[in-house]
Amino acid sequence: MEIKFKSVHTAKDLIISAMVLAAGTGLFFINTGLGIVIAACGLLRLLFYKAGYKREGEDILLQKKAFDVAHSCKDSLKGFLEGKDVDPQVNTNLNGGVIRMEVWYNPDAAIAYAQLFDFSDYTYEPATEIVELRGPRAGKLISKL
């Protein structure tokens, strides 16, 4: 089964957008042009910026982190994602080649989804499927971020 994520608003997104929109509205009475621009920025941020993720069919709010990892860590990360009892090595010191790791996670619910990508021909190609981690295994990966 393919795992898909959709972007959603977080409480932080809504609060910041509302504050910018309110600041623009307040500035409208002092400087009309500036107030309109600031209010438009708040409105556009409210409409388009979504920092949270949810897996389709679930209600757990996830954060996403994507970063490049040294190619020497690929075997330990791949082994960890395959379920082997390996301590995942996350070395961001980029000596040599790189791989990309994307992690959607929620530390409070102890759940994480991870995927590795290889860099080939100027694009990132999936090296693994999206793997679901729960409980202590998810906590172990989240602590390495």
**121, two tokens:** 């021909």
DSSP state of 62: B
Beta carbons within 8 Å of 41's beta carbon, 6+ residues apart: 20, 24
Alpha-carbon Rg for the chain in angstroms = 20
Q: Which residue has the tokens 């301590």?
A: 87
Instruction: Work out the average pLDDT over 76-104.
Output: 80
> Is the model's pLDDT at 95 over the cut of 70?
no
pLDDT at 92 over 80: no
- Per-residue confidence (pLDDT) for residue 27, from 0 to 100: 95
Would you kindly state where each structural domain of the chain is located, as residue ranges? 5-55, 63-144
* Lowest-pLDDT range of 57-71, 77-91, 111-125, 128-142: 77-91
Q: Mean pLDDT in the chain?
A: 88
**Residue linked to tokens 């860099």:** 119
**E strands within 2-145?**
5-8, 52-55, 63-70, 98-106, 111-120, 123-126, 131-134
Residue-wise pLDDT tens digits, 45-83: 999 999 999 998 888 999 999 888 887 888 888 888 888
What CA–CA distance (Å, rounded) separates 76 from 134?
18
Greatest C-alpha distance within the chain: 63
Average pLDDT over residues 102-116: 92
For residues 62 and 68, the answer to whether their CB atoms sit within 8 Å is: no
Tell me the whole-structure pTM to 2 decimals.
Answer: 0.82
